[in-house]
Amino acid sequence: MPSEVDPLLLLRQSIAAGTSVVSTTTDASDAPETPLPEAHFLQFASTAGDRTALPVNAPTRFLSNDAPVDLRSIYFAWLNREVAIPEYNAAATRLNEELAKAGASATVHKFAFVERLDLITWLEGASEESEYIKSTGGAGATGAAGASAGSKTASGAPVTSSRSGRGAAIDPRLAVIYSGERRTGDHNTVLRGIKPSDFSHVRKQAIPFMSKKQQQAATAVTDKKHPATMPLNPKSGPQRRPDPIILLSPSASSLLRMSNIKSFLESGRYTPSDNSSTATMLHIMRTMKEIDPNRPIRFILVEGPEQFKPEYWNRVVAVFTTGQAWQFKSYKWSNPSELFKHVQGVYVGWRGETTPQGVKDWGHRVLNCSIDKWADPSIPGADVNRWRDREVSENIWKAIETNMRQKGWKRDSGATLA
């Protein structure tokens, strides 16, 4: 490997330029592509048509536990950048098994969640710094890797920053915005790390304490006018804020169903519904700064009010609809015009398509949102506009928060207005 070639930087430049990276068994420029477990080289094509071959076991400047990570592990992590940590670890285990069968002594490094996130962010050009990448000459964490958007590749071709990593160029102004973006994980990755954990034992340990608390509450009732479940002095302690409820549309034509609503509202990215979810209820944690900036609110998502008690309707803060009035037949307010006087309505449709007449008739009380049509991710540039999904998701949350404030939701209490 030529001493002047930086494997890590070369991979980043190839991603930005949209040129191909091919795994081969030899370093010949005309060598055919071979599966990664059998490959000994990665060949990087330039815009001029020539190839640069590097060994797959070449060390890179990315350090994990102070040890350099090989090029094959870096490339494998990039290929699996869009899968969750458990699926990524399973795929890495399968690749290690295939490498062992092929007689290779090396194994693929499994990145921790933070390392993997930092690596992918740097490779796709959304960040110019990385605490895990060793400097090449003291010019910062990335050193020579500073050749990002606006620099040139080894072949002399200009590089255009690409967030999707599939060669689809993005607006330079967006690249500046992405460089300042702070990447965070969801509550599952923060609490559980890279391995699923079983907390069922905690419930067993809590049963004696919960039973004792219920007995104390029952013995505190001295007046028959108080219900048996109410403490003697309900103002003596902090009130428990009820969980707000979001109703989804059960229509098969709805773009957001139980199988994909969680990822859309939490991560701001749309994926098509596969109708395979058997869940009847979901929970989403969201911080509403204007209501309680210090404690996230847990939202309950259901498709229908079949299990509702009368008092639950005061907790409904949003209703997703496709514009079909039959959805509200079993609601407390079956007339759409009356319903959306009490609850924030949300309609999500494809961008460029006509809005249903029902949504138009219900007026400004129904938030009309449009998202880009879904395309197969394997098609180059298919998700170049998927960043707009987050904007739509944030607009929905903003409308829900405004409606909750108008209904009287506060830090320690639910709605005060019906």
Query: Whole-model pTM above 0.95?
Result: no
For 232-301, the DSSP string reads S-TTSSPPPPPPPEEEPP--TT-S--TTTHHHHHHH-------S----S-EEEEE--TTT-TTSPEEEEE
Tallying the residues shown for the chain, one arrives at 418
Residues 62-107 have pLDDT tens digits of 999 889 999 999 999 999 998 888 899 999 999 999 888 888 778 8
Would you state the structure tokens that stand for residue 181, as one six-digit string? 């973006």
Residue ranges of domains in the chain: 7-183, 242-406
Instruction: Please give the average per-residue pLDDT across 364-391, as a whole number.
Output: 83
Helix (H/G/I), strand (E/B), else coil: 346: strand
Q: Is-contact 15 147, C-beta < 8 A?
A: no
What's the pLDDT at 184? Answer: 65
- Supply the Cα-derived Rg of the chain in whole angstroms: 27
Helix (H/G/I), strand (E/B), else coil: 370: strand
Strand order in the sheet with 282-286: 282-286, 297-302, 245-247, 316-321, 344-350, 366-371
Q: Is-contact 127 63, C-beta < 8 A?
A: no
What is the distance between the alpha carbons of residues 328 and 209, in angstroms, rounded to a whole number? 42
Q: Is 318 exposed, middle or buried (0-12, 13-18, 19+ CB in 10 A)?
A: buried
For 352-376, the DSSP string reads TSPPPHHHHHHGGGEEEEEEPPP--
Question: Which range, 25-29, 126-130, 164-168, is most confident?
Answer: 25-29
Confidence bin at 397 (pLDDT 50/70/90): very high
Instruction: Flag whether pLDDT at 186 surpasses 70.
Output: no
Domain 242-406 top-level CATH class: alpha beta
The number of beta carbons lying within 10 Å of the beta carbon of residue 234 is 9
Counts for the chain of helices (H) and strands (E), in that order: 11, 11
CA 258 to chain centre: 16
Q: Lowest-confidence range among 62-66, 93-97, 192-196, 333-337?
A: 192-196
Residues 20-71 have pLDDT tens digits of 898 998 888 888 888 988 889 999 988 777 888 899 899 999 999 889 999 9
CA 354 to chain centre: 29
